[in-house]
Amino acid sequence: MSTTSPNAAPLLVRRAAVLGAGTMGSRIAAHLANAGIPTLLLDMIPAGEGGRNRLALAALDALAKAKPAAFYESSLAALITPGNFDDDLAKLSQCDWIVEAVAENLAIKTALLVRVVPHLAPHAVLTTNTSGLPVKQIAAELAAHKQRFFGTHFFNPPRYMRLMEVIPTA
């Protein structure tokens, strides 16, 4: 994918993944589902009992109860597939857009992104949803993939926060 060519085809996001099932990651996944995009929601495997996908499943449960509502319609939750970083990274090869939304810790973000890169489709875009870390520092370990990596920032809750406001002049 060339970002410098004016003739480059636009990216069609048919499937996405969100890395991190915390407050922001889960709500970004819900926002993608609201747009009709099947989305993987992956997180780490927690210690103890309760299942390997426990964090992503708990996030889906919290989304169902969220106020204000995270989904346009509750049935859209079915577009989100829970998983974990150890078992499901290979599924990223089916995704067009992967959004990293883990803890605001440079070491955690870069370690995960380095694990993710081998599983990306050649056309896939990888973004970080950092709110405080310099994107350039996060990208330092991804030098060979700079053309497909950039920063995005969703405001919480993504479904309700306007990213642009139009102010009438009259």
pLDDT in tens, the chain (170 residues): 444 556 667 778 999 999 999 999 999 999 999 999 999 999 999 988 888 999 999 999 999 999 999 999 999 999 999 999 999 999 999 999 999 999 999 999 999 999 999 999 999 999 998 878 888 888 888 877 778 887 887 766 666 566 534 444 43
The 8-class DSSP code of residue 53 comes to T
- Is 153 a residue of the active site? yes
- 57 burial type by CB count under 10 A (0-12 exposed, 13-18 middle, 19+ buried): middle
Please give the tally of structural domains in the chain: 1
Q: Is the pTM of this model over 0.75?
A: yes
**Per the domain annotation, does 137 fall within a domain?**
yes
**Per the domain annotation, does 11 fall within a domain?**
no
**Per the domain annotation, does 79 fall within a domain?**
yes
Half-sphere exposure of 32 (CA within 13 A, CB side): 27
**Domain of residue 110, CATH code:** 3.40.50.720
**Per the domain annotation, does 86 fall within a domain?**
yes
**Per the domain annotation, does 10 fall within a domain?**
no
Largest Cα–Cα distance in the chain?
Answer: 61
Q: pLDDT digit string (tens) for 72-102?
A: 999 999 999 999 999 999 999 999 999 999 9
**Per the domain annotation, does 70 fall within a domain?**
yes
**Per the domain annotation, does 91 fall within a domain?**
yes
**Per the domain annotation, does 170 fall within a domain?**
no
DSSP string, 4-43: S-TTPPPPP-SSEEEE--SHHHHHHHHHHHHTT--EEEEE
- Give the structural domain span for 30: 16-151
Catalytic residue among 119, 123, 145, 153: 153
